[in-house]
Amino acid sequence: MPDMQKFYERYKDEGVEIVAVNLTQSEKQLEQVARFIQEYGITFTVVLDEKGEVSRQYLAHAIPASYLIDSQGIIRKNDWTDEL
């Protein structure tokens, strides 16, 4: 996450967005998520996947998982392959 924050700070003015999805179903204490965000100074969007919908849609079986999605919403790169 600290590296993602550095990347975001460097490229956010060029239109790059980061959306981190916390797989909330596996979290025991949601306060830890907020504490982590504050502790590491995360300024990009972090959402909670409380029902596991995002993890199912993107087949995120292992965490962390990363996806590069273009401005048209097409996944261009993920953890398993260079390009789809």
Query: What is the pTM (predicted TM-score) of this model?
Result: 0.76
Map out the domains of the chain with their CATH numbers: 2-78 (3.40.30.10)
Three-class SS state of 81: coil
Give the dihedral sign, CA 19/22/24/28: negative
Please say if the pLDDT value at position 76 is more than 90: no
Please say if the pLDDT value at position 82 is more than 60: no
Q: What is the pLDDT of residue 39?
A: 95
Strand partners, 70: none
Write out pLDDT tens, residues 9-63: 999 999 999 999 888 766 667 788 889 999 999 999 998 888 888 888 888 777 7
